[in-house]
Structure 1
Amino acid sequence: MIALTFAVLWARRRQAVALFLLAALATGGVALAPVYLARTEDGIVADQVALARPEERTMLVAATVEPEPNTGTMDPRFERAGARLLDAPGYTQVFSSSFTAQPAQLPAVFLDGTRQLAYRQDVCEHVQVVSGRCLMGRDDAVLTEDTARRLGIRLGDPLSLAASAYNSTTGQFVPAGAPGQLTVVGIVRPVPSPYWAGGGNVSDASTGNLVFVDRRTFDSFKRPSELQVFVAYPQPGAITVATVPRLRAWLAQLDTAGSGGRASIGLGDLLDRIDADRAAARAPVPFAALPVALLGCAVLLFAVATGVRASRFEHGVVALRGAHRAARWWLAAAEPAIPILAGGVLGGLAAGFGSVTALGYGVALTAAAVLAGAAVAVRAISAPLSDLLRRVDRRGARWRSATFDVLVVLLGAVAVAHFHTSGDTVYGVAPLAPALLMLAVALLSGRAVVLLAGRAAGSALRRGHLVAALAAVRLARQPSGRRLLTVLVAAVALLGFATTGVAVAAGTQRTRADVAVGADRVLTVAPTTRQRLLTVTRAADPDGHHAMAVVPLEGMLAVDTTRLPAAVWRASYAGQPLADLVRAVRPIPAAPAVVVRGDTVTFDLTATRLDGLKPGLVAYLAPLDGGAGFEVRLGDLAPGRHTYARPAPCAAGCRLAGLEVGLPVTAGPTVSLTMHGPPTRDWRTPPDATVTAAADGVHFDLRASARRDAGLLRPAGVPDRLPVLSTGPLPPDGLLDTFDDNPVPAAVVAAARTLPRLGRQGMLIDLEYADRLAVDSGVIQGAEIWLAPGAPPSIVDELTTGGLTVTGERTVSGERALLSRTGGALGMRFSLLAGVAAVLLGAACLLVTSTGADRTDLVALRRQGAPARVTRRVERAAMLALVTLAVLAGSAAAAGAWFAVGRYLPGVDPRFVPPPGPVLASLAAATAALAGAAVAGTRSRIR
C-alpha cells in the first residue's frame, strides 16, 4: 500500500508539489508571527535600554561612614551589606570611597580649594595613562588631565593633604586629621564606559578635583568620615527579553532598608516601560496572525478538494474493482496528507529559524491541515459509485451550508460587540472580530456570485457574447467558484485592512510627534530670564518668520504669539483661522514698560488711612538688560506724605513690575494712599481695590482679604484679564498661576481642539502679557525656542551671540523615528506582512485551482464544434471575473472591518481618516498578483 501511495503521488506530482508549496507558504506565514514578535521585542528592549536615563540603567547605594569609637577604623557594616545588596544578575559592582581633603599647609580653604581623595575599585583598568604610570605602591596618586591642569600639578609633584571638616561659622574647610604625603606618579584620562556611572563618573573624574589612590594609601589617612558608594552597572546583554523576568524577581526580593545607606534604583521604571512597550507590540499580532492561519487552512482544504474532485473517476474505478473501503480511504487521505505534512514541517523550520515557539505554531497548523485535508478527501470519495464515475459533485445539504454562513455572521457581530466592551484587555473572540467580519462578507459574496453569474449568463447569451456566457455558467454551476471567491475576498480584505491600519498608525505617529515636539525644531535654553529670552529671540529673527520664544508651564504654554508661524500651528488644532486666534490671545500691543532709571528708586506717597497697620512697601523691578529681577524694600508705610527711596541698580533701566503694600491675609483693614507724580497713571489693582485720579497723581483704596495679591499694584499696558486659548474651562476661581506666587485673572477668548506640546488638555497664553502681569522677572528653567521649517542655521549663532546658551535640540523627524520604533508601531507592521502572506496564499490557491480545474465540459464543447478561440478563453474569463469581484468585495470587507473594529486598535487615532494612496496601491498590487496567477493558471490545453 505504501508503494501504491507513492506511485499515486508520482503520477500526480504536479498536484503534490502544489500542495507541498501551499503548505510551506501557509505554515511559514503563521510561524513568522512568533519570530517577528521575538525580534521586535528584542529591538524594543535594546531601544529602551539605550534611551533610558543613567539612573535607570545603573543602581547605586551610598552611605556616610564614620570611625568606630573603640578602634578608630571605619565601620565595616555598610561595605559588607552593600556588596550583597546590588547583586542583580548580569550587573557588575564597583566600590568607591572618598573624603574631602585640603592642602595640609593651608589652615583654611573655601570649597574650590578642597580636593577629593578617592579610592575606586579597579580604576587603573578603566583609564588611559597619558604620562607616567598608574597606581602601584603606597603613597602613589594619579590625577586626570583636567584636574592636573586646573590645579597646576605636574607629574612627580608631591602632594601633602589632610582630611577636612566644614566650619559653618566661617564657611570654610579646616584640617581634621594628620597630613599624608603623596607623589603624583601618573596623569590619566578616563576611558568612557559604564564603569564611571554613578558616583565618580567621567565628568566627575575630570572636573571634581579627584585624587585617586589605592586602598592602602586611602586607609592610612585619618578622617572624620568618608562617603562609601556601591555602583552596579549592566554588562552587555544584562537587560534582554530573557533576563527581564529574572530582574523582576530580583527587584521583588530587594530590601534596602537594612543597608544603612541611601539607595537609588530606577531599574523598575525601565522594566515597566519595557513591559508596556512589549504589550503594545503583542496587541495587534493576534488580529493579523489568526486570519492568516485560518486562510492558510482554507486554502489547503480548497486545494485538496480541487485535487480530489479531479480524481473522482479514478477513485470510482478503484471502488468498482472491489477495493476495500479502508484501502480506498488510505489512498484518498494519504495523497494530500504526505505533501501537506512535508511542506508544513519545512515551512515551519524555514520561517521559524530554529525558534521552538514558531515551530510549535507550524506543527499545530500542519496537524490541523493534515487532519482536515484527509477528512475532506475521504468524504469526497465516499460518494455513491455512480456519482464518482459520472464525475458528479457531492452536494451537501443546502440548509447546512446556509446555517454555517448565518453562524459566521452572528459570531462576527458577537465578536465586534465583545471587542467594544472588553476594555483595555482584548480576549475571547474579540481578536477574531476583524477576521470574522471579513469572512462574513466573503461568504455572502460567494453566495451572491452564484446569483449574479446566473443572471449574467442569460444576459450574455441574449447579446451573443458566448465566452462571457460560458464563463458565467461555469461560475454559477460549479461550487468551486464560490469557494474560490470566498478565499480571494478574504485575502484581499486582509491586505486592505492591514494597509489601512499601517497607514493610519503611521499618520497617527506623525501627528503625535508633531504635537509632542511642537515645532520642526525645538532648542532648549539654559536658565535665563523671560525678558532676555524675548529680546534675544526677536533680535535673532527680526522678521518673525522662523523663531519663537516659548516657556512651558504646568499644563500651559507661554509663547510669543506675535511670531506664531503657520508652520507651527496646524489647521486641525482649532476651528478658527490662526490670524483670528492670535488677535484673540493678543488683542492689543503691550504698552511701553514703566521704566525706572538711576541708582535709586523713589515714590512720593501720602497715606490717608491705615486702620492701625504698618504695612511694608516693596517695589519689584526687572532689569531691561535681561538680568534677574529683584525687589526693593522701601520701608513701612506711615501716615501723611513721605518720600520712600532706596538704592537700586537700575543705571541701565529697570521695568517697574509692581508695587506691593503688605496687607494682612484677613478681611477688614483698608489702606488709602495717593501717589504723587506717578511714573504712570494707568494702574491695575486687585478686584477689591479701587484706583481714581487725583489732582497731582493717583489715589488707591486697598482692602485686605484672603487674596495674596490684595495689596499689589501693577502698571497696566496689557489687558486686565489674561487672554487664554484653551481646550477646556479655566479653574473655578478664574485665576492662573503663571510665573510667580501671585495668580492673575484670566479669560478664555478662543477654544482649541488640540494644542502643540499639550495635546487635548492645556492652555496657551501670550508670553509678553504673562511677563508683564508677573511681579518678578526671575530666571526661568526649561525655556525653549521653536524654529519653523526652513529656519536658517545662522539663527542659532545669533541666539548664542545674544547671550542665550543652547543646551539641546529636539526635532519632529527624530520624534517620528522614535515613535516608529515603539511597540504599537512595530506590532502594526506585522499585519502588513500578514496581509502580503494572505494575498500570496490567495494567488497560490488561484493558480492551483485553475491549473487543476476539471475542463471536461469545455473539451466536450470543443468536440461538438465550438471554436477553439472560445473554449480557450472561457476559463480565463471566469478566473479574471472572480479576481475582479474579489477585489471589489474585499475592499468593501476591509473598509467595513476597519470602521467597525480597526480604528479602535492600540496605537491608532480613531479620528484619523485613512489616506487613500497606500490603500489603493496595495489593492492594485493584490489585483496584479491575483490576475497574474489567474492568467498563468488558465493556459488552456484544449485543442
Structure 2
Amino acid sequence: MIALVTLMLTARRLQAALVVLLSALATAAAVAGPVYTDAVDRAAVAAEVANTAPADRTVAVRAALESTQRDRFDALAGDLADLPGFTTVLSATLPVLGLEPESGDISWFTFRDSVCEHIRIVSGRCLMATGEAVVGASTARRLGLTPGRTVSLGWATYDEASRAWVLSGRPAPTTVVGVYEPVDPAEPYWGRSGYFSPTAPDAAAEPVFAGRPTVDALEHDADNRSVEAIPGPGAFDADTLPALSTALDELSEELGDDEEMARFAALTDDLPKLFDRVNRSDALTREVVPLAGLPLIGLCWLVIFVAVAGATAARRHEQALIALRGAPRIGRFWLAAGESVIAIAVGAPLGYVAGTLATRAIADARFGPVPVFDLAPAPGAPAAALVAVAGAVLVGLLALRRDLSSPVVDLLRRVPPRGAAWRTIAIDAAAVVLAVLAAVQLRAFDGQLLGLGLLVPGLIALAVAVLAGRLLVPLAARLGRGAVRRGRLGLALGALQVARRPGSQRLFVLLAVAVAVLGFATTTVDVADRARADRAAVETGATRTLTVAPTDAGALRAAVRAVDPDGRYAMAVGVRPGVDGPPVLFADTAALPAVAVWRPEYGDRTPAEIAAALRPPDDEPVVVKGTELALTVDYAPPPATDGTAPGTELRLTALLRPLAGGPPVRAGSADVKTGRHTWTMASQACADGCRLAGIEAIYSAAGGEVAEVSIISLGVRAEAGAPLTEVVPAFAVDRWRASDDAELTAEDGGVHVVVPGAVIQPRPTVLVPVSTPGDVPVLSGGPAPKSGEAEGVDGNIVAIRSVAEGRALPRIGTGLLMDIGYAERVATAATALDTAEVWLGPAAPADVEQRLAAQGLVVTGRDSVAAAADRLDGRGPALAVWFHLLAGVVAVLLAACGMWLMAAVDRRRTLDDLVALRRQGLAARTGGSWVLWAYLPVAVAAVVTGLVAAVIAWAVVGQYVPYFVDDDFALAPPTWPRPLAIVLPAVAVAVLFTSVAVGLRRALRVRD
C-alpha cells in the first residue's frame, strides 16, 4: 500500500507539489494571525509607553515624615525596589530659609540619589562631603552666588496666621561648592519630581542639592520623602507587563493593610491607566485580526477542496480499475486519500515556518522592529496550525467522498453524473443560514466581534457567492447555445464547458470569496485611515498646536493678539478639565474661522457664526485708570456679645483686569474700619487701564453673624497725590448685582450689602457691574449640562447658555467651548491656565515661535495633525487593520493559483478535446479562444459578485469594526469608503484574473 501511494506521488509530482503548496499556504495563513497579533501586541505596548509621559511611567511612594517614621519608610522603599525592570531613586526635601534673605522666599533643600550623575557642573564641583550644596545656574546668577560662598540655612514651616514661612529650626552653615544645570530635564531619572518642568507651579525655584548626611543633619522635625521606581530598558513590554501589574497590586495592598503607614504615605501610580490601554488594545487586536484571518483560512480549505476534488475527478478511471480488481473498500480509501493526506502533511511544517517568517518580515517592514528569524511559537500559533492541517485533511477527504461511494459504472464515465439537487440546495441553504445567524448574533451582542460574529464577512461572502453560483450554470448554458447560433464557436465551446464542468461553480465561488475578502479589506483600511485622520484633526484642533507654560488667560490672549492682531493664523486656547462638570475649552474665537480645523461633528453652524454667537455685544465695562483707587464705604459690624469692642473682620477687595491683558489685579488692604471713610487701595498695574470686574467682600468672623456695609463711591488717582477722579460717583442698585443671591438695597446714596460671616470658612460676596454678562454663551459638544452651569476660566461656577450643539468639540471631545475673552468678563478670581496652548493655522509664519517667545510665552510642547495621525497609526487597532489588506492580497493570489490549478487538473482532458476538435477541422485560433472563454467569464462574474458581497458584508459589519483604543471623542467613523478604495482593487483583480486566463490560453495552445 505504501509503495503504491509512493508510486502515485512520483507519477503525479506536479499535482502532489500543488497540494503541498496549498497545505503550506493554509498552514501559513493560520499561523499568520497569531504571529501578527503577537507582533501587534508588542508594537502596541511600545506605542502606548511612548505616548505616556516619563513621569506617568514612574511609580512613587511619597510621604510627609516625622523623624520617628523614617525607618519604616525606608523599609517600604525596599519593597518598591523589587519591581522588575525598575531602578529606585530616594529623595528627601524640606523647605529652608536663608538662601534669599532679602525676599524671604524659601528654597528647597533636596537630597536625591546619584544626582551628580545627572547634572552638569558649570562652575565649581559636585558634592563630596557633609555641609556642602550645589545651586542651580539661574539661582546663582540671580543671587550672585559663586562656589565657596557659605550660607546659613534653617528649616522653615508655614504659619497660617501670618500666611508666611517662618524659621522653625536652628540654622546651619552650608557651603556652596558648585553651580549646576540638569543634563536633560526630561530624562526619566527625574521621575515625578517636576524640579525642572516648565509646567511646575514652582518651576523657577531650582532645588538646592545636598548629600543625605547634610539634609539629615539640618535640624528639622519633618520632611517630605519619596522613593521613585524609574523604568529601565525592558521594563515595559508584552512579556513583563503581567508581572509588573501583579507586583503593583501587591504593593498597593501592602500599603493599604498597614494603617499607620497609610496615614502618612501614599502610592502615586498612573500605570494602571497604561495597563488598561494596553489590555484594551490587545482585546481589539484579537477582534480585528481574526475578522480577516478566519476567512483566509476558509479560503485555503476551499482551494484544497477544489484541488483534491479536481485531481480525484481526473483519476476516476484509475479508481474504477482498482475497484474492478476487487480491492477492498478500506484499501481503495487509502489509495485515494493517501496521496492527498501525505502531501498535506508534508506542506504543513513548511507552511508553519514560512508563515511565521513571512508574517514577521511584513510586521517588521510595517511597524517593526520585529525579530524576523525568531521561530519561537507565538501564543496560539501551534493550535492554529493544527486546526488548519486538520481542516485541510477533512476537506480533502470530503472531496474524495463522491468518487469513493460511486459505482464502477459511474467511475468509468468521462463525464461524472450530476449530484442530487437536494444536496446542493441544502449546502447553499446552510451557507445562507449561517450568514444570517452570524449577523443576528453580531447585533444581539451589541456589535461585539466574538463567536460567529468573527465569521460574518466570510460567511456573507460565501452565501452571496453560492447563491450567485446557482445562476452560473444556466447562464453559461444559455450563453453557449446563443453563441452556437451566432457561429461564435470559441465562445460557445468555452461557455458550454463552464456549464458542463462540475468544478466551474466551485471555481466561481473561490474567486468571488477571494474578491470579497479583498474588497472588505480595502474598505476597512480606507475607512480606518479616514477615521484616524478625522480623530487626529479633532485631537489637535488645528493644523499645528503649541503648548506653553502655565499662564494667565488674559496674558495668553494679549500675547497671541500682539503676534497676530487680526487673528489670521494664531489663536489663544486654554483647557480646563472640569472636576464637577464637563471639560471646557476656552478660545479667542475671533481667530476661530482662520485657525481651527472645523468638522461636521462640531455642529451645523460655520466657525464664523459660532464665533459671533460666542462673543455677543455687551455693555461698556467700568474702566479705571490710575495707580490708586479710593473706595468710600460705611461699615457697621455686628455688636460684640461679650462686652468687647466690635470686630473689624470685614475685608473689601477691588477685582481688576488689565485692559491690555495679564493676570488679574486684587487691590485691597487690611480689615475695614468701623464707620464711614474713604479707603485707598494701591493698584500700580492699572496705570494703563483696568476693567472693574467686581468688589469682593469677606466677613471672616465665625459663628454665622452678618456685617453690613454701604459702598458709596469709587474714585481713582492717576498717581500718588493727584486729585481724585470719581469713576463711579454713586453706587446705584440698578447698576450692580451681587453673587449668592445677596440682596442689594439703596442707602445713603450707595448700595447697602449684608455680608454673611464664616460658618466653616469665609465665603466671599462679590458685587459686579450689570455690564458684566449674567451668563456665558457656549457651544456644547454633546448635551449641555442640565444645571445650566459650568466651570469658568477662573474655576468658579458660572451660568451658561448654549447657542449651538454638536456631537463633539476639538481637543476635548464632549464638553463646552467658551470665548476666552467673554469668559474673563464674568471671572472674579485668578484666571491661570494650567493647560495653555496656541493653535496655528496654515498661514502661520515660520518664526511664529520666536514671536511668541518675544511676548513672554514659553513653548513647552508641539503637536500637529500629522503627528497625531502618526501616533494613532502606531497603536494596536491601526496596526491590526492592516492585516486585512495582507489577508486580502493573499486571498486574491490564492484564487489566481486556484484558477491555474483548475486548468492544470483539467489539462489532459482539455488537450484531448482540443486534439479531437482540431482533427475535425477546428481552427487553432478558435481552440485558444475556447480555453480563454472557459475561464474569463467566470473570473469577470466572480469579480462583480465579490464586490457586491464585500459591500453587503461592510453594510452589516462595518459599524462594529473598532478603530481606536478609547472613545474619548465620540466621533462617528466614515460610513462608506471612497470610490477609489473599491474601484482600484477591483481593476487590479480583474487584470490579474484576465492575465491568468490569457496565460492559460497560451499555455494550452502551445501544447496543442
CA gap 1:818/1:887 in 2 versus in 1, 3 angstroms: same
CA gap 1:210/1:715 in 2 versus in 1, 3 angstroms: same
- SS where residue 962 of structure 2 aligns? coil
- SS where residue 551 of structure 1 aligns? strand
Q: Deviations over 1:804-834 (max 9, x none)?
A: 3323222111111111112211121111111
Shift of 1:41: 0.7
- SS where residue 756 of structure 1 aligns? coil
Shift of 1:575: 2.4
TM (norm. structure 1) is 0.86
Shift of 1:507: 0.8
1:813 aligns with 2:866: yes
Q: Deviations over 1:389-441 (max 9, x none)?
A: 22232543211221121122112111111111213643321211221111100
CA gap 1:778/1:295 in 2 versus in 1, 3 angstroms: closer
Alignment length (residue pairs): 919
- Give 1:367-382 correspondences, 5 Å limit: 367-377=390-400, 379-382=402-405
1:19 aligns with 2:19: yes
- Give 1:855-934 correspondences, 5 Å limit: 855=910, 856-907=912-963, 909-934=972-997
State the partner residue of 2:611. Answer: 582
Q: Deviations over 1:536-570 (max 9, x none)?
A: 22221133221122233443333222221255243
CA contact (8 A) 1:519 1:787 kept: yes
Question: For residues 217 and 678 of structure 2, what CA distance do their matches in structure 1 show?
Answer: 66
Shift of 1:835: 1.2
Question: For residues 543 and 56 of structure 1, what CA distance do their matches in structure 2 show?
Answer: 39
- Give 1:443-462 correspondences, 5 Å limit: 443-462=466-485
- SS where residue 792 of structure 2 aligns? coil
CA gap 1:359/1:458 in 2 versus in 1, 3 angstroms: same
State the partner residue of 1:79. Answer: 74
State the partner residue of 2:111. Answer: 118
- Give 1:590-629 correspondences, 5 Å limit: 593-602=621-630, 619-629=654-664
Shift of 1:308: 1.4
- Give 1:1-40 correspondences, 5 Å limit: 1-40=1-40
- SS where residue 622 of structure 1 aligns? strand
State the partner residue of 1:725. Answer: 779
CA contact (8 A) 2:490 2:933 kept: yes
Question: For residues 745 and 160 of structure 1, what CA distance do their matches in structure 2 show?
Answer: 53
CA contact (8 A) 1:722 1:769 kept: yes
Shift of 1:724: 3.0
Q: Deviations over 1:883-926 (max 9, x none)?
A: 11111010000000101112221127455331122222222222
2:693 aligned to 649, 657, 667, which one?
657
> What residue identity is the alignment partner of 2:959?
R
Shift of 1:38: 0.8
Question: For residues 713 and 123 of structure 2, what CA distance do their matches in structure 1 show?
Answer: 72
State the partner residue of 2:228. Answer: 231
CA gap 1:841/1:355 in 2 versus in 1, 3 angstroms: farther
> What residue identity is the alignment partner of 1:651?
A
CA gap 1:143/1:190 in 2 versus in 1, 3 angstroms: farther
Question: For residues 466 and 299 of structure 2, what CA distance do their matches in structure 1 show?
Answer: 13
State the partner residue of 1:795. Answer: 848
CA contact (8 A) 2:195 2:207 kept: no
1:562 aligned to 590, 594, 600, which one?
590
- Give 1:66-465 correspondences, 5 Å limit: 76-96=71-91, 116=109, 118=111, 120=113, 143=134, 146=137, 157=148, 164=155, 166=157, 168=159, 171-173=165-167, 176=170, 194-197=188-191, 207-212=206-211, 224=221, 229-254=226-251, 255-257=254-256, 258=258, 260=261, 261-353=265-357, 354-356=375-377, 357-377=380-400, 379-423=402-446, 425-465=448-488
Shift of 1:40: 0.9
Question: For residues 318 and 862 of structure 1, what CA distance do their matches in structure 2 show?
Answer: 33
- SS where residue 302 of structure 1 aligns? helix
Question: For residues 629 and 194 of structure 2, what CA distance do their matches in structure 1 show?
Answer: 49
Question: For residues 66 and 399 of structure 1, what CA distance do their matches in structure 2 show?
Answer: 87
Question: For residues 215 and 751 of structure 2, what CA distance do their matches in structure 1 show?
Answer: 69
Question: For residues 46 and 281 of structure 2, what CA distance do their matches in structure 1 show?
Answer: 12
Question: For residues 633 and 145 of structure 2, what CA distance do their matches in structure 1 show?
Answer: 62
Moved more, 294-303 or 555-564: 555-564
Q: Percent identity?
A: 36
Shift of 1:443: 0.8
1:747 aligns with 2:801: yes
CA contact (8 A) 1:329 1:378 kept: no
1:471 aligns with 2:490: no
CA contact (8 A) 1:549 1:559 kept: yes
Shift of 1:870: 1.4
State the partner residue of 2:575. Answer: 552
CA gap 1:394/1:133 in 2 versus in 1, 3 angstroms: farther
CA contact (8 A) 1:622 1:776 kept: no
> What residue identity is the alignment partner of 1:900?
V
CA contact (8 A) 2:743 2:754 kept: no
State the partner residue of 1:765. Answer: 818
Question: For residues 836 and 100 of structure 2, what CA distance do their matches in structure 1 show?
Answer: 44
Q: Give 5+ residue unaligned stretches, structure 2.
A: 198-202, 358-374, 639-647, 715-725, 758-762, 965-971
Question: For residues 179 and 704 of structure 1, what CA distance do their matches in structure 2 show?
Answer: 50
> What residue identity is the alignment partner of 1:535?
A
- SS where residue 747 of structure 1 aligns? strand
State the partner residue of 1:45. Answer: 45
Shift of 1:95: 4.2
> What residue identity is the alignment partner of 2:918?
R
Shift of 1:683: 4.8
Moved more, 805-814 or 254-263: 254-263
Shift of 1:673: 8.9
Q: Deviations over 1:837-896 (max 9, x none)?
A: 111111111111122223144443333332221122112112111111111010000000
CA gap 1:866/1:371 in 2 versus in 1, 3 angstroms: same
Question: For residues 154 and 663 of structure 1, what CA distance do their matches in structure 2 show?
Answer: 49
Question: For residues 24 and 528 of structure 1, what CA distance do their matches in structure 2 show?
Answer: 63
CA gap 1:815/1:102 in 2 versus in 1, 3 angstroms: same
- SS where residue 118 of structure 1 aligns? strand
CA gap 1:413/1:384 in 2 versus in 1, 3 angstroms: same
TM (norm. structure 2) is 0.81
CA contact (8 A) 1:332 1:377 kept: yes
CA gap 1:565/1:188 in 2 versus in 1, 3 angstroms: closer
CA gap 1:593/1:201 in 2 versus in 1, 3 angstroms: closer
Shift of 1:768: 2.4
State the partner residue of 1:71. Answer: none
State the partner residue of 2:718. Answer: none
CA contact (8 A) 2:43 2:875 kept: no
CA gap 1:557/1:98 in 2 versus in 1, 3 angstroms: closer
Question: For residues 146 and 756 of structure 2, what CA distance do their matches in structure 1 show?
Answer: 67
CA contact (8 A) 1:119 1:218 kept: no
Question: For residues 731 and 99 of structure 1, what CA distance do their matches in structure 2 show?
Answer: 44
RMSD over equivalenced CA pairs, Å? 4.5
